[in-house]
Amino acid sequence: MEHARLVYAGAPATEAHMAVIFKTTQGLAAGGTLELLAPEAYSLSCPAQAAALGLRGVRLCSGLDNSLRVVLSEAMAPGSHALVVHLGNPAFTPADNRFALVLRDRHSSVRDARMGVPGRPIVQGLGILASRLAFSSSTAFAQAEVRVSFHVATAIDPYQVMGAVRALQIVAPERFLLITREPVLNLDGLPTPETRWFHLLYTERLVRVDLVRSEGDQPDVIPAGDYRLSFQVRLPEFWMPNINIWVLSLCRNLRCSEIIADVAMAGFRFGDAPTLGGGEAEGSSQQGGAQPRHRALPGPLVACASVALAWLAAPAAPP
């Protein structure tokens, strides 16, 4: 296997969504299987619905303890693919924190494999336990609202063990385009500076939300609760990407060159029922800062600076 990598939030002793991203030179016919093996300290399970895996043509998904098996109902071509599974994190990073991914044909013969895929460290104090992606349209080339929701189970305090979170970053999949003339909406009072608190990096498909004004500032405490960030995108014109994964990152610095944790969310496909209705109440949007529920919104800041997304597509270091 050319490469494989894992994207998940290492919140201690909690369940997370884990994206498994891989590139293979081997195809699988219908009846082939993908097998994922985690260290014994973890547990693996399947989403309630096969569509939530984010992988096309799934006939069956079954998980037992630290292993998971996906059976394909249609052929999988060589190339890049991704799926999202449920992962039960341990309380601490295990000494051996390596995963394995094996592709087998319908006769159980191994066609491709990647052993020793490095897992993410368990981050003490990480309190983001759940995330959700909602969308207003799944029509090709439509403009749609995308809303990223996340749950903070315990307050994120810069003076506690995890340290300061100075920015949040959302990475859209390839072929999605950010609508930069529309602002990012902070719907639930996430503490941010009063002005210039969001950036839309069009070319890199990044939405970045600043939690401080400058690099040396300490952010405010993010209280426990549910938060939503909403923005506009243009859907792909012809086909959805195989790696249809959205990622919410917690960043140590404003450039997001130092990532504390990544939260993976499975994307949607053409024809999926929208999960944001046109008549749904939007709630009160805000500009940010200490006073909640401001209506005024800043104009979008279109940044030309580039932050490479090589971590999402580049090969992982060999074991």
Q: What would the mean pLDDT of 296-310 be, rounded to a whole number?
A: 36
The reported pLDDT for the residue numbered 127 is 85
pLDDT category of residue 294 using cuts at 50, 70 and 90: very low
Q: Is the Cβ–Cβ distance between 250 and 259 less than 8 Å?
A: yes
What would the pLDDT profile of 29-47 be if each residue is shown by its tens digit?
A: 999 999 999 999 999 999 9
Q: Hey, what domains does the chain have and what are their CATH numbers? A: 3-118 (2.60.40.2230), 125-276+283-311 (2.60.40.1170)
Higher pLDDT, 129 or 78: 78
CA distances from 57 to 100, 141, 173 (A): 22, 23, 20
Q: What pTM was estimated for this model as a whole? A: 0.86
Of 71, 89, 78, give the one whose Cα is nearest residue 31. Answer: 71
Q: What would the mean pLDDT of 95-114 be, rounded to a whole number?
A: 98
> Can you tell me the distance from the alpha carbon of 107 to that of 134, in angstroms, rounded to the nearest whole number?
39
Higher pLDDT, 49 or 243: 243
Q: What would the mean pLDDT of 8-30 be, rounded to a whole number?
A: 96
Q: What percent of the chain has pLDDT over 70?
A: 87
Q: What would the mean pLDDT of 42-68 be, rounded to a whole number?
A: 91
Place of tokens 């799926």: 83
pLDDT category of residue 278 using cuts at 50, 70 and 90: low
Q: Is the Cβ–Cβ distance between 250 and 211 less than 8 Å?
A: no
Q: Collect all residues with Cβ–Cβ distance below 8 Å to 67 and sequence separation of at least 6.
A: 35, 36, 37, 38, 44
> Can you tell me the distance from the alpha carbon of 70 to that of 63, in angstroms, rounded to the nearest whole number?
9
Residue 252 has pLDDT above 80, yes or no: yes
Residue 27 has pLDDT above 80, yes or no: yes
